[in-house]
Structure 1
């Protein structure tokens, strides 16, 4: 019986993630080119294939693209941590460590603290070689 319940919950969670990603496709998420890799209640991984329009005049990925990638990944975790509620970004700290100009970028975000009204998360962006490019933190507020 427990196995069936676990399978059912897993299928429900997968269907919810697929629906969430489909709903995000026509928004800035899709415009930027974000793709869901994996997600759970307190962690998510998204990816972005670098395209020419992601670069700045110096030929490296624009800082705004990287900040948006962090915000999207952390926002996804906030949405999953507070099902049925609206959450908004109230603070975003971004530390640019290394530049990148091509390849697949992967952003992992994790919930690190939760209070009654706010969530605090951290995120990391790595390149396809596993080099840490960006580290950031964010706060999100529940605005149900």
Structure 2
């Protein structure tokens, strides 16, 4: 049961950090550079929607860290850490699939993502006995 719980928390961390990355990318592409935020804020030129997405992405990062800490309680570090790589593939696939991100698919990037996923599958294909402290 603890292995299943650890995997659930690890996947929660992956989904949250992927969402955070996509949210940051979307909003930062729409906002002025951070050095101009105070000026834009004083002129009411900042979109509250974009700022809310940045804040939501930061909150998603924090939740992701909480999930990650919980995953580390139940998974060996080698297995848990490899699962974080799934976020690279997920972000690439979503960013290239959603037109708002203006990203494109390429054979080279897709090959890289495929190799990452194969590596994660290889690392996690064998059951590793948990050593109790």
The answer, yes or no, to whether TM exceeds 0.5 is no
- Could you say which structure has the larger radius of gyration? 2
TM-score by length of 2: 0.31
Greater strand fraction, Structure 1 or Structure 2: 1
Higher relative contact order at CA 8 Å, sep ≥6: structure 1 or structure 2?
A: 2
Greater percentage in helix = 2
With normalisation by structure 1, the TM-score equals 0.29
